[in-house]
Structure 1
Amino acid sequence: MTSTAAKSATGEFGFVEWFRPGEFERTERLLPDILKSGASYLRTHLSWAEYLAPGGEEWFDWLIPKLGEEIDLLPCLHYTPPSLSRTGRSNGAPVVLKDYADFVDHVLTRYGRHFRHVELWNEPNNLLDWDWREDADFNLFCEMVGGAAYWAKQRGWKPVLGGPCPFDPMWLDLMGERGVLSVVDAVGFHGFPGTWDSEEGSWGGWDMHLGEMRSILNRHNPDAQIWITETGYSTWRNDEMEQARRFMKALQVPADRLYWYSFADVPPNVAVQEGLWFDPRHYHLGMVTHENQPKLLARLLMEGGIERLQDVARLASPNLASGAAPIVITGGSGFIGSNLAESFLADGEDVIVLDNLARAGVDQNLEWLKQHHGAKVHPVLADVRDLRGIEAAFADAKAVFHLAAQTAVTTSLVSPLDDFEANARGTINVLEAVRKAGRKAPVIFASTNKVYGALEDLEMLPMDDRYVPADAGVREFGIGEDRPLSFCTPYGCSKGVADQYVLDYAKSFDIPTAVLRMSCIYGPRQFGTEDQGWVAHFLIQALKGEGVSIYGDGRQVRDILHVDDAVGAYRAVHAAIGRVKGEVFNLGGGPQNCVSILAVLREIEKLTGRPLETGFGEWRAGDQLFFVADTRKLADRLGWQARMRWRSGLQHLADWLRTHRFTDESSALRDLRVRA
């Protein structure tokens, strides 16, 4: 009996990735990331039909050496050229069965130096890949593949029998009785637990199915290995953490190799298989999107391999005691969410931190919360777009703070549908989960000043380093909640839709809700980028000794607010929800923290003691020349006010970054330490 401990002990894995003829750019783009993920193997198809089609030889002459020089390659040789097929289709047996063995022989001669194993056909008991209606007893298949396997073995290569799908032990035993198993070195297995409805009823678990497989192989070829040549999990419901969990589970199964299907999603304009065009699951099996954006699994593997993935997976342990009434914070591992969670945890509250960990680095915030507050922190690693996956988190909630969102205007312009799904659908999913729970838990929503649009009707007076409103009232107090809504950019639209749904659920369903339309929040635990969280981003860049890009002329004005004050506002609204149900509040630093981008840059240069290299680009869509929140309603109704002035807040953030984010002894940090 062959050993199956090698894969589990080493954590080795591979990917399945079908490269279609002509996909030169896609291959060049994906291969470095496949290698960066830590993959040891790659399985791809070498279609007999495509090889004989116009341009086929040239394509595979480029593809196979390209892949084989970089990674342990498993080519899957399948699909009959229609002109040679008994049925006129690529899933039919060839008229002359030996032609397939001759093709295998040709491939070994032409490309064999680039691989050690060769897979003979794909999913042979699946009608889409092999027309068993014309070969009901599989005599044609056995003669075709058995002869090809024998010849490949004689030439020094190791043949792999394509995996049946769905798994059929009787079919596999037939392959043994017909002598096919005796001439192969490994047998493939395909299984996608949790993804396909057709598999759900018959799936008995990895141990059962692979145990059946091992028993059959022991009778016919005890030395043959078991390879999982296809397994995966579709994120069509946006449950990326579940994909990561399934991947980790697959690493532990008793098989000699694992190939995960697949590395990249299929583009939506590509037909996967005839008759399956409209099944979304086929298009979301990758660990990166078709636009090459990493999902959680890809990001973690590329950040630190299996160990990194295991560390994050260990965070996902809700362990909520029966009868507890937790506070739920969506986006609770994010910047504002983690600070808000810490505030409630410090008061002894149970907090469910619901987060998909999509933003790089936020798992560090979750780890910090767990280290400091232990069993009071209940992580639920799920996505608000996945209603089925989040409902249980709200069942006993006594309050909900909904902060999870797609947060960048730039991203919304690139992917408006994704932006809508996260912000609009994600919000109504949260509201529906609360409504279904039946406890009427308060829902306090993080909205944005972008719901007021670009404010183009406000006349601005350009000063040396800032824009100032000509209107004296706006200049003195800022923008009030009575400002008409004017959604601008997909981000403004999706957040605005969510904003209005939250307010309406107070009217339509009597759920106590409130909305905070935020300006620029900054502070500790923020992973700022140039697209979102610009104050922290500028300071981080300065501490690294790197430059920043300014969109526009830098005279844009914002009222920046320290996160401690933002947390105070959220808690004040929560405490008074009975009085402010269905109301909206503008939240920002107010006129006392009104500052231009150029002024912030100057202050950062003072903090670091060195000039900050800056570049200027085109204005971004929907960018407001001026936004200062009129916070008098918060002050009058709830007694809230911003306590941290912006210069002190920047110093506080710089000190925190120096202590918690940077460990190197760069000159910028040395200067900061001296000044501190």
Structure 2
Amino acid sequence: MMPQQGTRAGDGMPPRHAAQVRRQGHEQGDDQTTAGKLGFLEWFHYQDYEHVEHTLAALRELNVTRLRTGISWADYHRTHGADWTRWLVQRLGEATELLPCFLYTPPSRGIQPKTSSPPRNPDEYGEWIALMIDELGDNFDWVELWNEPNNLVEWDWILDDGWQIFARMIDTAAAYAHRKGKRVALGGMSPIDPAWLALMADEGALRHVDSVGIHGFPGVWEADWMGWQNSIDQVQAVLDDHDLSTDIWITETGYSTWRHDEMTQIDALLATLHAPVGRVYWYSVFDLKPGLPSKNGFHNDERDYSFGVLTHDGRPKLLQRLWSQGGQAAVQDLAKLQDYASIHVVDENKHPIVVSGGAGFIGTNLAHRLLTQGERVLVYDSLARPGVERNARWLRKLHGHQVEIQIKDVRDRYALKAAVRNAKRVYQLAGQTAVTTSVVHPLADFEVNSRGTLELLERLRRRQYMPPLVYTSTNKVYGELAGVTPREGDSAYYLDPDDPAAGGVDEHFPLDFHSPYGCSKGAAEQYVLDYARVYKMPNTVFRMSCIYGPHQFGTEDQGWVAHFLISTLLHRPITIYGNGKQVRDVLYIDDLVAALLAAGANPDRVAGEAFNIGGGPTRAISLLEFLDLIADIHGEHPVVSYDEWRPGDQRYYVSDVDKFRQAVGWAPATDVKTGVRELYRWLRTWIPAGNAAAQSNGNGHGNLSSTRQIHPVPQATGKGEAG
């Protein structure tokens, strides 16, 4: 049986008391209760079957079953529109708990020929609702009538004086729905307008309504936002005044990440889930495709294109990744790490060392060393790389609030400005780190690596005191190493004594960018060096080779040393590209951290210079030799297969680190066998705690092998290059 008009199932109490109980019940609820109210809103364009299937797959990954979407009356009357509508409702209904929002007037039936027009005969809308319930009602329990009726874009109220047509249309349609056993939600107000809702109640439009929807986009379009409780109280007051115990739902809300502030999207969702309402529909699953118009027109407002928890081409944002891994608990756990106050209120007496990308492999080790020396450290990281949040938690657990954590992106110039305002030293480790990813997403690669670094330089340049900056670049800027001719030995390539790189590649080798990644990193480092020359900034560049050590979880694209060890520990096959005789010099993380500290502490000796940083000739090893080392440490050889060489793969790269040694007296101290044993021991303790993260976290890349388990995402994070 349907509950009678003005009540909700299980209520049987006066409306004011029901509202009070709802608020108290929410305040006492646990996280699982608040997560259970979550659904998603996704709009589907006419006959976009692929978008529907991708959305359902994403909802399964998120373990969310509720979905709200628009069912267009106008589309239903297009050629083949009825077939599309039936397929859409049936497909969504079989896979989700569907809330269909029936909206949009067929232009041929409107007072004016547009979808926002009131229909000439308002009863036709109710008749169509009845038809939809008769044909498709097995796929839903609720119907939502229209969307944002007080928004001129959705309902042209200029053509409907006093909303008389709308009130009649809704009352008729809601009555049809109730008679056919469906519950009714009134399309959400935007903006929230108590006077408009009171008018609808006075006109009798709420007689058959079981839930009133509200919309709100705090931090995006709500300039004078006073919180969900205030908005809900305004709506509840109208319902109380009319003796209605109608429920209240948030049927559309969200946060646009157009400024790359994905942590704020998380904050907005958590705040919404704690609102005292029965349901929350979050907009949206996917970003709007850039080739499509929004309601505001074609790219008239860029915010319209970034509301998704996934990008338009399916790359996960921070919210999606964490929620799919651990639900609301994982999201809330991360939110506790963020130090919010410092973005807005800066203590002028605090002079931290800022480590951009500080939750990545290199950044974590550097921050830890600085913190153990008594320094205050601000870790600035977008946490874009899966798993690096574990590093951030480790730093917080070990060092408490001596470490300040800002989950922000290097492309967010205002957050960046606040973070470095009082920095006494800056390490720029943030970046997109994979050559392969740069080929797939070259624009995103450029935005993070080049533009993000330039934003940082601009923020530092405008300070009265310009702190020392160390930027970590890559040996990829040398490209194919023209003139270097490796010769093939039994287990490794080698160079003749008269080869120009026989003692290692030094800084006199010409720059030669051979991938989007090489271009973006090369452009960034040249900006760093030129700002040192033009603006007299104490900037230094490290062109790094293969770095390895604890807190590194390598993949086929990044961190091949750790990747080989992880694959061995997880009993997964390793694919070698080429013959396995390619040679790299490897540097243990403790030695790199020592180099970073030396550069930061001696800006007068290193400013304006680029240095090759790696293990050098004494720490060079081929892949075949490394496999033998693994067998010695692990007790058995990993399973290996071979594939074709990949374009741009270098047969031989070894750094000449003499220039930096002469500048500050630095030299590597950890031999390869000792360092690899340390990493092996560390991985054995961390892998059981999170195998998934162990396959995808970590920064440090080398395109040498594969177990084909991850597609990296080009966003700003901590990094450590490996050639």
1:220 aligns with 2:242: yes
> Quick one: distance in 2 between partners of 1:483 and 1:205?
59
Higher mean Cα deviation, 418-427 or 162-171?
162-171
Matching of residues 22-41 of structure 1 within 5 Å? 22-41=47-66
Higher mean Cα deviation, 202-211 or 293-302?
202-211
Q: What residue number does 2:386 align with?
A: 360
> Quick one: distance in 2 between partners of 1:105 and 1:618?
62
1:301 aligns with 2:323: yes
Higher mean Cα deviation, 49-58 or 367-376?
49-58
8 A contact 1:522–1:535 mirrored in 2: yes
Q: Give the letter aligned to residue 42 of structure 1.
A: L
Q: Give the letter aligned to residue 623 of structure 1.
A: D
The CA deviation at 1:322 is: 5.2
> Quick one: distance in 2 between partners of 1:130 and 1:410?
48
- Aligned-partner SS, 2:256: coil
> Quick one: distance in 1 between partners of 2:493 and 2:243?
79
> Quick one: distance in 2 between partners of 1:658 and 1:618?
31
Query: 1:25/1:618 Cα in 2 relative to 1: closer, same or farther (>3 Å)?
Result: farther
8 A contact 2:605–2:664 mirrored in 1: no
Matching of residues 111-190 of structure 1 within 5 Å? 111-190=136-215
Q: Could you give the per-residue CA deviations for residues 16-60 of structure 1, whole angstroms, max 9, x where no partner exists?
A: 011223322332222132133132411011111112212222223
The CA deviation at 1:604 is: 1.7
Aligned partner of 2:111 among 82, 86, 103: 86
> Quick one: distance in 2 between partners of 1:228 and 1:124?
15
> Quick one: distance in 2 between partners of 1:90 and 1:218?
34
Higher mean Cα deviation, 30-39 or 71-80?
30-39
> Quick one: distance in 1 between partners of 2:116 and 2:581?
65
> Quick one: distance in 1 between partners of 2:187 and 2:579?
61
1:19 aligns with 2:41: no
Higher mean Cα deviation, 253-262 or 32-41?
32-41
Unpaired runs of 5+ residues, structure 2, are: 1-14, 692-723
Query: 1:663/1:195 Cα in 2 relative to 1: closer, same or farther (>3 Å)?
Result: closer
- Aligned-partner SS, 1:444: strand
Aligned partner of 2:102 among 70, 73, 77: 77
- Greater length-normalized contact order (CA 8 Å, ≥ 6 residues apart): 2
Q: Give the letter aligned to residue 100 of structure 2.
A: P
The CA deviation at 1:483 is: 1.0
8 A contact 2:59–2:65 mirrored in 1: no
- Aligned-partner SS, 2:314: coil
8 A contact 1:318–1:352 mirrored in 2: no
Q: Give the letter aligned to residue 235 of structure 1.
A: T
Matching of residues 647-658 of structure 1 within 5 Å? 647-658=673-684
Q: What residue number does 2:663 align with?
A: 637
The normalised TM-score by structure 2 is 0.89
> Quick one: distance in 2 between partners of 1:289 and 1:96?
41
Q: Identity percentage over the alignment?
A: 44
Moved over 4 A (4+): 5-8, 318-322
Matching of residues 104-503 of structure 1 within 5 Å? 104-196=129-221, 199-200=222-223, 202-273=224-295, 275-317=297-339, 323-470=349-496, 472-503=498-529
- Aligned-partner SS, 1:111: helix
Supply the RMSD in Å over aligned alpha carbons. 1.8
> Quick one: distance in 2 between partners of 1:471 and 1:137?
90
Aligned partner of 2:609 among 583, 589, 604: 583
8 A contact 1:465–1:599 mirrored in 2: yes
> Quick one: distance in 2 between partners of 1:221 and 1:259?
26
> Quick one: distance in 1 between partners of 2:155 and 2:438?
43
> Quick one: distance in 2 between partners of 1:583 and 1:503?
7
The normalised TM-score by structure 1 is 0.95
Query: 1:473/1:174 Cα in 2 relative to 1: closer, same or farther (>3 Å)?
Result: same
Aligned partner of 1:516 among 526, 542, 550: 542
8 A contact 2:348–2:422 mirrored in 1: no
> Quick one: distance in 1 between partners of 2:372 and 2:218?
41
Query: 1:18/1:577 Cα in 2 relative to 1: closer, same or farther (>3 Å)?
Result: same
The CA deviation at 1:664 is: 10
8 A contact 1:264–1:288 mirrored in 2: yes
> Quick one: distance in 1 between partners of 2:277 and 2:61?
23
> Quick one: distance in 2 between partners of 1:153 and 1:457?
81
The CA deviation at 1:318 is: 6.0
Query: 1:224/1:22 Cα in 2 relative to 1: closer, same or farther (>3 Å)?
Result: same
Q: Give the letter aligned to residue 101 of structure 2.
A: C
8 A contact 1:459–1:471 mirrored in 2: no
The CA deviation at 1:336 is: 0.2
The CA deviation at 1:427 is: 0.4
Q: Could you give the per-residue CA deviations for residues 148-170 of structure 1, whole angstroms, max 9, x where no partner exists?
A: 01111122111111112222222
